[in-house]
Amino acid sequence: MNDYNYILKQIYQDIQPLLGKGRVADYIPALANADRNKFAMAVRLLDGTQFSIGNIDETFSIQSVSKVLSLTTVIAENDEFLSTRCGKEPSGTPFNSLVQLEYESGIPRNPFINAGALVTSDQMYTNLNNPKKDFLRFVRDLSGNRELEYNEKIARSEFKAGFRNAALINLMKDFNNIENCIDGVLDTYYHQCSIEMNCANLCDTFSFLANYGVNPINNKKVISRSVAKRINAIMLTCGTYDAVGDVAYRIGLPAKSGVGGGIIAIVPGLLTVSVWSPGLDEKGNSLAGIKALELFTTYADNSIF
């Protein structure tokens, strides 16, 4: 068995030159002052054993990492969603691009670019009686942490500054691919992105994907094994914006990143590993976080390839 304490200590030492570098997601005003020197990393084995290093108690908004969770609620109810309202192919364009959406008649390439996540939130808005309350309950159940909350300040900040997302959703509404009130869907979307966790919470929340659809915390089935396989596949091919090829090459795990600096990665049948550092590279992924995960799969020898 790997000595994960030793591995995390080695990674923490190796990534020090990257801390303080990159840019924060300052286009979201509430994230503009994030400290690029912060770093945390956690590992959770399926038996519940946990390892961590760095600023592990610090919480951060998970941002686009939440798109995996909203997708889970949707395709658990409707496995045709990714064949009708949204695709499952890498986009090859920035996560907030309008161009591709226009050419493809309002059908987003995948559920992890912003347009796809907005369609997912729209479907979730249709499916759930109280989308914000029900989604938060779902995430709390996955994590085993009843204290998880939305950050209202961040949600409001994103709503006020989200002109590009407003353009995306209005364009899709024009193509008849948004069913509900635009402001209601945007509010749901921004709230899901604002959920705050630390790295240990993130590992706990996503453990069901490492355990083939069953939450190892309470042994409850969340989704089928087949759906878990599909979500992991989309994370591998679409989960890190338009850097998925590079991330697959360097890390070799299903992963989802967010512009808050968090990344979650899955080793099916074994563990979840999360990392957080707010300094982002040019693609919007955590600069130190991507390197840390590359080192993790190298030192632990547990890429899926």
For residue 68, what pLDDT is reported?
98
Instruction: Tell me the pLDDT tens digit for each residue of 123-169.
Output: 999 999 999 999 999 999 999 999 999 999 999 999 999 999 999 99
For residue 79, what pLDDT is reported?
77
DSSP-H helix ranges across 64-113:
66-75, 81-84, 99-103
For residue 98, what pLDDT is reported?
87
Residue 264's DSSP bridge partners are: 256, 274
Domain spans of the chain, in order of start: 4-300
Average pLDDT of 117-123?
A: 97
C-beta separation of 184 from 196 below 8 A: no
Instruction: Tell me the pLDDT tens digit for each residue of 169-225.
Output: 999 999 999 999 999 999 999 999 999 999 999 999 999 999 999 999 999 999 999
Instruction: Tell me the pLDDT tens digit for each residue of 39-97.
Output: 999 999 999 999 999 999 999 999 999 999 999 999 988 878 888 999 999 987 777 77
For residue 90, what pLDDT is reported?
92
- Tell me how far apart the alpha carbons of residues 268 and 71 are, in angstroms, rounded to a whole number: 19
C-alpha dihedral sign at 293, 298, 304, 305: positive
Residue 273's DSSP bridge partners are: 43, 265
CA dist 99 → 96, 102, 109, 171, 294 (Å): 9, 5, 12, 11, 32
For residue 83, what pLDDT is reported?
86
For residue 293, what pLDDT is reported?
98
In this structure, which topology does domain 4-300 adopt according to CATH? Beta-lactamase (3.40.710)
- Tell me how far apart the alpha carbons of residues 202 and 273 are, in angstroms, rounded to a whole number: 8
Instruction: Tell me the pLDDT tens digit for each residue of 270-294.
Output: 999 999 999 999 999 999 999 999 9
For residue 80, what pLDDT is reported?
85
Q: Phi then psi for 139, rounded to 5 degrees?
A: -65, -40
Q: What would the two tokens of residue 5 be?
A: 């304490």
